[in-house]
Amino acid sequence: MTDLFGIPLPALLSQLLLGLVNGSFYAMLSLGLAVIFGLLNIINFAHGALYMMGAFLAWMGLEYLGLNYWVMLLLAPLVVGVLGIFIERLLLQWLYKLDHIYSLLLTFGITLVLEGIFRSFYGSSGQQYAVPDALQGATNLGFMVLPNYRAWVVVASITVCLAVWALIEKTSLGATLRAGTENPKLVQAFGINVPRMITLTYAGGVALAAFAGVLAAPILQVTALMGSNLIIVVFAVVVIGGMGSILGSILTGLGLGVIEGLTKVFYPEASSTVVFVVMAIVLLVRPAGLFGKEK
């Protein structure tokens, strides 16, 4: 058998692939954060809680209403998006003129409230969500057996990420969005409703988090704290990619998933910290992040 650094090649390949699966989640979550940061200039700490809500909505849809996975994959992001509209209109919009720290504290508070609600209703050991029938089973790739559902996660998230990227970079709507980021006053002078655009961007960003949550539900136990476990890493991903960079956050998300996967083979104990080590190095060398521009 071929070896690479003392690790059999098939083992290495399988870890790379698994890293890509995890990277897909990082990419989707950090993309939402980057879009929100780009336009609203706020750090949305509630992102993890809204991801958790997405997973819970999927579970609740099946448990109480009999709605299957595919329906909830569309419905959960919509519901969370609407919630996002309320959060932005009722709470966040008053804070844009203030220091970043206020919106950060507010969204952190929202996280605590949401997590508290779900924990008090559903306890802490979580709910079980089954893999949808169409994606049951696994495929033998030769070097590893890949569960079909994991393959679907990669495909779905990369598709969504690319769609969002195309929407922002390649359409006229996206052009207005980007212009709004640069100079909101001027864009408003052209008769474009910038506050509404901001609201919808926030809704879109958090809907992405909910989408990721539904994707995660069959893999992870659905618990109130599932977002908190992930969100810190995702923040590091955003910092590494560069705040507000769309393509940057997608590529960094996938890339760091792979780096983390490799660390799990070579030195498993460090797998939870490797992302932060990379972050520290990137901040030293390129303070604006790999894809960010100095302002």
Partner 1 sequence: MTHTFKRLALASLTLCAATAGLPGTAQAQISGDVVKIGFITDMSSVYADIDGAGGVEAIRMAIADMKGMVAGKKIELIYADHQNKADVAANKAREWIDTQGLDLLIGGTNSGASLAMAKIAAEKKKPFMVIGAGSARLTNEDCTPYTIHYAYDTVALANGTGNAVVKSGGKSWYFLTADYAFGASLQADTATAVQKAGGTVVGSVKHPLNASDFSSFLLQAQGSKAQVLGLANAGGDTINAIKAANEFGVTKTMKMAGLLMFINDIHSLGLKTTEGMYLTDSWYWNQTPEARTWSRRFYEKMKRMPSSLQAADYSAAMHYLKAVEATKTDDADKVIAQMKTNKVNDFYAKNGEIGPDGRHRHDMFLMQVKSQKESTEPWDYYNLVQTIPGIEAFTKLADSKCSLVKK
Interacting residue ranges for partner 1, rule: CB under 8 A: 11, 14-15, 18-19, 21-22, 116, 119, 123-128, 131, 138, 144-145, 147, 149-150, 219-221, 223, 225-226, 229-230, 261, 264-265, 268-269, 271-273
First to last CA, the chain: 51
Closest separation between CB of residue 264 and partner 1, Å?
4
Among residues 154 and 200, whose Cβ is nearest to partner 1? 154
Closest separation between CB of residue 122 and partner 1, Å?
10
Among residues 149 and 235, whose Cβ is nearest to partner 1? 149
Among residues 22 and 30, whose Cβ is nearest to partner 1? 22
Q: Is the backbone of residue 145 left (phi > 0), alpha (psi -120 to 50) or beta?
A: beta
Give the separation between CA 142 and CA 127, rounded to whole angstroms: 33
Answer for the pair 2, 136: CB distance below 8 angstroms, yes or no.
no
Among residues 41 and 272, whose Cβ is nearest to partner 1? 272
Closest separation between CB of residue 167 and partner 1, Å?
29
What residues does 120 pair with on adjacent strands? Answer: none
Closest separation between CB of residue 261 and partner 1, Å?
6
CA distances from residue 272 to 93, 203, 261, 264 in whole angstroms, order as listed: 35, 30, 10, 9
Answer for the pair 5, 11: CB distance below 8 angstroms, yes or no.
no
Strands (E), the chain: 3-4, 7-8, 138-140, 145-147
Closest separation between CB of residue 243 and partner 1, Å?
24
Among residues 110 and 168, whose Cβ is nearest to partner 1? 110
